[in-house]
Amino acid sequence: MCGIVGVLGDHEVAPLLVEALKRLEYRGYDSAGIATVYKSRLDRRRAVGKLVNLSDVLVHNPLPGKAGIGHTRWATHGAATEGNAHPHSCGPVTVVHNGIIENFRELREKLAAHGITPSSETDTETVAMLTAHHMAQGLQPREAVMATVAALHGAFALLFLFEGEEDLMIAARKGSPLAIGHGKGEMYVGSDAIALAPMTDQVTYLEEGDIAFVSRAGVEIIDAAHNRANRDIVRIEPGTTLIDKAGHKHFMTKEIFEQPTVVAEALGRYAPAGLPSFPDRLDFTKITRVVMVACGTGYYSCLTAKYWFEQIAGLPCEVDVASEFRYREPPVTPGTLALFVSQSGETADTLAALRYMKEKADIVAGLVNVGTSSIAREADIALAILAGVEVSVASTKAYTNQLTILALLALHAGRQRGVLTEAQCRGHVEDMKRLPDLMRQTLTLEGKIAKIAETLAPATSILFLGRGVMYPTALEAALKLKELSYIHAEAYASGELKHGPIALIDRSLPVVVFAPHDRLFEKTVSNMQEVLARHGQVTLITDAEGARAASEGTVAQLVLPAASELCAPILHALPAQLIAYHAAMAKGTDIDQPRNLAKSVTVE
Ligand code: AGP
């Protein structure tokens, strides 16, 4: 979602701020702006749309100054207009903000009584107004910000700049991450280390409730109780902030083609000697139930894992989307492992669900791709997804690595609970070790997949079908297609077709069926026949045996290498991703940053 940067520099900061904002583009945004303090005066430039529009504004109307803050905004309160773009200013204060101020209406009313009125529709402007009000009453910037932050409800990261203060930025974190970057005679603030990577690899992460007073000489941090806090400076590994398309047209294709490598890495980490290996605290002899919570693509990896935990480990497993789970107030029985799956580790709903379970479950584990994220830090155990930086808003390699690790975790549970023998467990891991190779073979089918996608692209609606573990695959395929190509897509468990959605079938409806030749193959094919009988346009994604048995009547077939039941949903994710990618290419949409979407959804 929104991105924040700040620089107290030795040189003009406007180009640095725009460059840093560029590195945050992947988070998703619809307007951008920067502000500087120069000769004691605050000034700002803002523009709707991509950063190139802000750069154009700056060419015609440069913004001098060596101290500045910047922001990419993903609209929540108020449309994407220049007036609603950050920074928001009031008197001697300007501020950028990630998150939501829940009590902004109430605060606005109070400020109106003092004659302070907003000029935008945003919640953020209230923060500037309140701080300016405190300063008008005689408080210095530091005390004014402390008083403001104490009055705010919601989840936020804030960065302030002040008139007359060319060596001061104040940052506050409650719910949204912020990183302080240390340079030589310069200091930086960013919503993540990726933004700061070209400037510094020395970073301090703020903790919940922290307020940081940043000058060129360093940073002073106070905690939620306003006591001085010592926070470590950590060195960021270069690989974790690398943003590079490596010759690909889009980050998404680069990330799709990285999957064999990152899956191999996950297999190496979590099954180093032919058997799954997880921290001792994940003791499945004591765990009697697994509750998995996530959003979007992470939710579909959990749905797949539910089949595995139940079938392979005989372990009851419940899966929910975080936005529902957090308000459902589900009863929690002893022996519960609560597992939260999130690429970013910052998804607001998933984090809230984790906090709900923290006091109730026996163990709270996170499966996260960002090791410094809130979910990683707040879980009792953080398992790394090991996918490397994922820039494309549409998740690909994080998904297949989540699946790989969850499959190994289910095997581990099966082994510990005595449902699987060691030999059976080794056999499954052996199968999984073939995955990187099978994935490479599957990626060679890109040309054929592109042709199928081009025929699907003109459709206004597409139906995806699958059974068992292929049902979540169908759901993920529909999500990817919607996100990237804006084509309406739905997924059904194929057995559910005749209970309603079959009414949609006619000659114009493309139907994509995921049907590897597994024990449910015949059942899925029967459902596919029901579609064919009604002239539905079926694309069958299967393996050689499946294609031999069931291609008749289908308009296209995609034949993947044969894979074990555990590997099939991981392998079938690849054509799902490539269909979405090539349909989006055919439609000319913004592939890495689809409209309205954000990479990490830090608001409820
Ligand atoms: C997937 O392509 C998405 N853009 C989205 O559904 C995502 O998976 C979801 O927002 C959850 O994000 P997280 O994994 O970072 O928690």
Q: Is ligand 1 within 6 A of the CB of residue 483? A: yes
pLDDT at 435 (0 to 100): 98
In this predicted model, what pLDDT tens digit does every residue of 263-312 receive, in sequence order? Answer: 999 999 999 999 999 999 999 999 999 999 999 999 999 999 999 999 99
Distance CA 600, CA 68 (A): 24
pLDDT value at residue 300: 98
> Residue 298: CB within 6 Å of ligand 1?
yes
Q: Mean pLDDT throughout 487-504?
A: 95
Confidence of residue 244 (pLDDT cuts 50, 70, 90): confident
Give the separation between CA 475 and CA 294, rounded to whole angstroms.
Answer: 14
d(CA 478, CA 551): 22
Kindly give the distance from the C-alpha atom of residue 411 to the centroid of ligand 1, in angstroms, as a whole number.
Answer: 25
Confidence category of residue 33, pLDDT binned at 50, 70, 90: very high
CA 540 / ligand 1 centre spacing (Å): 27
Nearest to 89 by CA among 57, 54, 45, 30: 45
Which ligand 1 atom minimizes the distance to the CA of 375? 16
Res 194 pLDDT > 90: no
d(CA 563, CA 345): 31
Ligand 1 contact, 126 CB (< 6 A):
no
Best of 301, 399, 596, 601 for a ligand 1 pocket test (most atoms within 8 Å of beta carbon): 601
- Whole-number Å distance, alpha carbon 295 to ligand 1 midpoint, is 6
Active site residue 599: yes
What interhelical angle do 397-416 and 422-433 show, nearest 10? 170
To which residue do tokens 């070790």 refer?
A: 433
Q: What is the DSSP letter of 121?
A: S
Nearest CA to ligand 1 atom 2: 394
- Strand, coil or helix: 543: strand
Please tell me the predicted confidence (pLDDT) of residue 242: 67
- Does ligand 1 come within 6 angstroms of the Cβ of 394? yes
Assess whether pLDDT exceeds 90 at residue 229. yes
Q: Ligand 1 centroid vs 344 CA: distance in angstroms?
A: 8
Q: Is 348 in the pocket of ligand 1 (CB under 6 A)?
A: no
The answer for residues whose C-beta is within 8 angstroms of residue 513's C-beta and 6 or more apart is 464, 465, 466, 494, 524, 527, 528, 531, 538, 539, 540, 541
pLDDT in tens, 517-527: 999 999 999 99
- Ligand 1: which atom is nearest the Cα of residue 480? 2
Q: Pick the catalytic residue from 66, 174, 254, 599.
A: 599
> 330-344 pLDDT, tens per residue?
899 999 999 999 999
Q: Which of 73, 100, 75 is nearest to 155 (CA)?
A: 100
Average pLDDT in the 430-457 region?
97
Whether 50 sits among the annotated catalytic residues: the reply is no
Strand-pair category, 3-8 with 336-342: unpaired
Please work out whether the CB of residue 375 comes within 6 Å of at least one atom of ligand 1.
no
pLDDT of residue 239: 67
State whether the beta carbon of 374 lies less than 6 angstroms from ligand 1.
no
Give residue 343 CA to ligand 1 midpoint distance, Å: 7
- Give the position, in ligand 1's atom list, of the atom nearest the Cα of 297: 8
- Mean pLDDT score across all residues of the chain: 95
Q: What is the reported pLDDT for 254?
A: 95
Q: Which pLDDT score, from 0 to 100, does residue 237 have?
A: 79
C-alpha 399 – ligand 1 centre gap (Å): 9
Residue 350 Cα: closest atom of ligand 1: 16
Atom of ligand 1 nearest to the CA of 396: 2
State whether the beta carbon of 475 lies less than 6 angstroms from ligand 1.
no
Residue 137, C-beta contacts closer than 8 angstroms, at least 6 positions apart: none
- 395 CA: nearest ligand 1 atom: 2
Q: What percent of the chain has pLDDT over 70?
A: 99
Q: How many angstroms separate the CA atoms of 578 and 253, rounded? A: 8
Q: What mean pLDDT comes out for the span 385-414?
A: 97
Rounded to the nearest angstrom, the distance between the alpha carbon of 296 and the centre of ligand 1 is: 5
Residue 404 CB less than 6 A away from ligand 1: no
Q: Is 293 in the pocket of ligand 1 (CB under 6 A)?
A: no
State whether the beta carbon of 93 lies less than 6 angstroms from ligand 1: no
pLDDT tens digit string along 44-58? 999 999 999 999 999
Please, which residues have CB within 8 angstroms of residue 368's CB and are 6 or more apart in sequence? 340, 341, 342, 343, 344, 345, 375, 376, 379, 382, 383, 384, 385
**Amino acid occupying residue 172:** A
Provide mean pLDDT across the span 484-513: 95
Check pLDDT > 90 for residue 598: no
Neighbouring residues of 35: CB distance < 8 A, sequence distance ≥ 6 = 42, 43, 44, 45, 63, 68, 69, 70, 87, 89, 94, 96, 161
In this prediction, residue 241 carries a pLDDT of: 67
Tens-digit pLDDT profile for residues 575-593 = 999 999 999 999 999 999 8
Nearest-atom number in ligand 1 for the CA of 398 is 14
Number of other CB atoms surrounding residue 33 within 10 Å: 26
| pLDDT, tens only, 404-434 | 999 999 999 999 999 999 999 999 999 999 9
Read off the pLDDT of each residue in 65-70 and give the average, rounded to a whole number: 98
Nearest CA to ligand 1 atom 9: 296
Give the global pTM: 0.86
Please say if the pLDDT value at position 168 is more than 70: yes
- Any ligand 1 atom below 6 A from CB of 342: yes
Residue 203 pLDDT exceeds 90: yes
Q: How confident is the model at residue 243 (pLDDT cuts 50, 70, 90)?
A: confident
